[in-house]
Amino acid sequence: MRTAVILYALILLMCARTNAAWVPVDCKDRMKEIQQLHKERGVANVEAKWQAYLEAVREARPGSPVYAPHPFPKKADEIIADFRHAYFDRLFEGTPFEKLPPREQFVYKALKENRLRIEIVRVENWTPSRCGRTPVPYIHLLRLFDPATGKEVARSTQEFTGIMGVYHNLSGPASDLPALDEIETVVRKRFGRTLSPQEVQYVSVGGLPYCSDHKPCVAFKAAGKLYLVDGGALLYEIAPTAPRTSVTALRSQRAEAGPARLGVTEYDVPMVTLGFEWAKARLVGGQKPQ
């Protein structure tokens, strides 16, 4: 008897106890700047382009690069169905099973036989790609586990449209992903800080050592400040008075400064994205990489 796929429907309101999704600086807050940046790339009306893209996804048929069986999925089974389509019909379409790496053969066969446990996490997009060539306000992170060992074997991102982003077969240990309802305990035990986290959610943030779509940070508010737990290893604080910089301004500054190596200063007080804006963060817990 096949082991049923267990769906952890941590969807849309992943911060289930109290929170709705949020972002400090949304696209609508910077539309003039966004329009100008897109005009420089030859797009006369970015909002019209976004709308056309979303309509194309909604109307797409099998064979289209923007086709998903369930466009803009809201339920766990719809998200899983979109992932399975992308995995079998696009990612490995036409690839003989024996040509797959051994560890991918395991995932492929187990997924085919519904033997993987799949956990779904909503990740709010706090990078400027939120307002990029196509709108990406949030993604779903799918975590695939082998029930026999409890080991996480793969991760895949899926845009809110239902289209696969990036797939990773995990050859080694997966990065830590603290549970949202345990973040108060995590912050106290790992960083020695007593805080009362509010509006806790997973986020993808630019500018931090570990944070990305498939390795999200945890964001929360406490005592009038914003905090980011990066990779479960570092705690960053952003005060209301922290310096902030527009996407356009920081791009110009970095172009003038030229390439720079990430060093001590960048780990201690990095510029991080808060949606379509950058802000200065401060390391207040954990040990930075040596």
Q: Is residue 184 in some structural domain?
A: yes
Q: Is residue 221 in some structural domain?
A: yes
Task: Determine contact, residues 212/203, Cβ cutoff 8 Å.
Answer: no
Pair 12, 132 in one domain: yes
Q: In this predicted structure, what is the pLDDT of residue 256?
A: 63
Number of neighbours of residue 184 by Cβ within 10 angstroms: 17
Domain boundary among 109, 139, 169: 169
Q: Is residue 38 in some structural domain?
A: yes
Pair 138, 223 in one domain: no
Pair 71, 150 in one domain: yes
144 pairs with which residues across the strands?
Answer: 118, 154
Choose the most confident range, by mean pLDDT, from 88-102, 154-168, 263-277.
154-168
Q: In this predicted structure, what is the pLDDT of residue 4?
A: 35
Span 249-264, mean pLDDT? 66
Pair 187, 163 in one domain: no
H or E, element range at 257:
helix 247-257
How many folded domains does the chain comprise? 2
Lowest mean pLDDT among 121-135, 151-165, 233-247, 254-268: 254-268
CA atoms within 13 A on the CB side of 45: 6
Pair 116, 220 in one domain: no
Q: Is 21 helix (H, G, I), strand (E, B) or coil?
A: coil
Domain that holds residue 94: 7-169
* pTM metric for this prediction: 0.89
Domain boundary among 142, 169, 196: 169
Q: What is the pLDDT of residues 209-224, one digit of tens each?
A: 999 999 999 999 999 9
Pair 94, 223 in one domain: no
